[in-house]
Amino acid sequence: MEKKKVLLCVTGGIAVYKAADLTSKLVQSGYQVKVIMSESATRFITPLTFQALSRNEVYTDTFIENNPEVIAHIELADWADLILVAPATANIIGKLAHGIADDMITTTLLAAAAPVWIAPAMNVHMYDHPIVKSNIEALHQTGYSFIEPNEGYLACGYVGKGRLEEPEKILEHIQQHFSVKPLFKGKTFVITAGPTKEKIDPVRYFTNRSSGKMGYALAEQAAQMGAEVILVSGTDSLPPPKGVQIVPVESAEDMFHSVMKYASSADVIIKSAAVADYRPKQTFDSKMKKQPGNLIIEMERTKDILFELGQIKKHQFLVGFAAETNDMETYAKDKLVRKNADMIVGNNVSEKGAGFAGDTNIVTIFHKDFSTVSLPLMSKQETAKRILLEISKKWGDDHHS
């Protein structure tokens, strides 16, 4: 493996000693490590410690430019394959969430194109503060990933959530990140995500609770595994995954035409969007006015995209989703047969942790031969990875490749 480059940004909390341990473990595992320290971090441990452990210069000040040929924070941002902020204080999280660039770490992060991971460490009440929560959510939306803190004894004497994840665990996450194989190199994926909006008039429409997070996670993971990904998206509220072509759509009809346009060139089609089954039969070009009494809107069926794909598929591996509130297994197996799909991913959206808008999911994968794989509660990114590995396994069997 070529030596992967990890840029470690260390901010000022008592957990800085764990960052020193992590630096040592990363170097021993064959990574190149460069360290930036905030001024507060240098109050806990000197830069010399990190220099000795990483065998590289440690950066602490935006205005110290030792090499006149480059701008240090731009060069560091370009150098990294992965950027990790650990420990991340409430302060650095707040600054990043608001685009403040007033030191070496924040200027480097604003110039970075590599994935950024944040490992928070702070007092339990600070971590639970609404402002900190909202800053974390803002960074999530920007595409940053988080390594959740542990629960345990904190330096302040409290016991609760806020302890920096152990260096061994962080190292595991990093190794997992870099060990993603290009399983789908040269393959084209068409993935649908999010809700559809069915127009009534210029200001009203029917929609559903889908956030699109699952489809976006699948697109991101498939791209990381080497696939060319076309994401047909009914949502515009999520940051676009890196290296993915987005095709924005609104209605079920739009989605049908976009998917059909790319279906013949696809190797794998994943229908994870929540498409409206019905749309208003009549739509209005100007806003409907209130009338006395009740309103009845007649609805007509939309095209069943998964069914249509099942009818025309040749070499494609076709995956559908079944979001159910009861009898998931019955519906999912029925869907496999009726829609001529190769795989159905079923999730009971009434279960805690498996709903539409959350960051976690609990799914059961149903294969064409009716074999099933049940996954526990896990993040949507991790769920996406497992679904793709199942596709790779079954597809390999079917295509003997």
Domains of the chain: 5-178 (3.40.50.1950), 188-399 (3.40.50.10300)
**What ranges make up the beta strands (E) of 325-399?**
343-348, 360-361, 364-367, 372-374, 378-379
Query: Quick check: 262 pLDDT over 90?
Result: yes
Packing angle of the helix pair 252-263, 305-312 (nearest 10 deg)? 20
What is the model's pLDDT at position 183?
A: 86
Catalytic residue from among 48, 155, 156, 180: 156
Backbone angles phi, psi at 33, to 5 degrees: -125, 130
pLDDT at 400 over 50: no
Q: Which two tokens stand for residue 298?
A: 């007649």
The pLDDT assigned to 148 comes to 86
pLDDT at 321: 94
What percentage of the chain exceeds 70 in pLDDT? Answer: 95
Rounded to 5 degrees, what are φ and ψ at 270?
-115, 115
Give the mean pLDDT of 347-374.
82
339 labeled part of a ligand binding site = yes
Q: Is the pTM of this model over 0.75?
A: no
pLDDT band at 314 (very low <50, low <70, confident <90, very high): very high
Other CB atoms within a 10 A radius of the CB of residue 276 amount to 22
Task: Provide the pLDDT for residue 398.
Answer: 52
On the question of pLDDT at 401 being above 50, the answer is no
Q: Check the annotation: does 277 bind a ligand.
A: yes
pLDDT value of residue 399? 47
How confident is the model at residue 357, as a pLDDT? Answer: 66
Asked if 163 contacts 121 with a C-beta cutoff of 8 angstroms, the reply is yes
Judged against a pLDDT cut of 90, whether residue 324 lies above it is answered with no
**Using one digit for the tens of pLDDT, what is the confidence trace for 193-229?**
999 999 999 999 999 989 999 999 999 999 989 999 9
Residue 89 has pLDDT above 80, yes or no: yes
Told to judge if 156 belongs to the known catalytic residues of this protein, a careful annotator would answer yes
**pLDDT tens-digit series, residues 267-277:** 999 999 999 99
Q: Across residues 316-328, what is the average pLDDT?
A: 89
**For residue 360, what pLDDT band results from cuts at 50, 70 and 90?**
confident
321 is in an annotated binding site: yes
Report how far residue 255's alpha carbon sits from residue 117's, in angstroms, rounded to the nearest whole number: 33
Has residue 32 got a pLDDT over 80?
Answer: yes
* Measured distance CA(9)–CA(88) in Å, rounded: 8
- Written as one letter, the residue type at 216 is Y
Burial of 87: CB neighbours in 10 Å, binned 0-12, 13-18, 19+: buried
Distance between CA 7 and CA 21 in Å, rounded?
15
Confidence band for 46, pLDDT divided at 50, 70 and 90? very high
Burial class (CB in 10 A: 0-12, 13-18, 19+), 246: middle
Q: Is the pLDDT of residue 354 over 80?
A: no
Q: Phi and psi at residue 295, in whole multiples of 5°?
A: -120, 135
* pLDDT higher than 80, residue 159: no
Share of the chain above pLDDT 90, in %: 69
- Which range, of 54-63, 219-228, 237-246, 337-346, averages the lowest pLDDT? 237-246
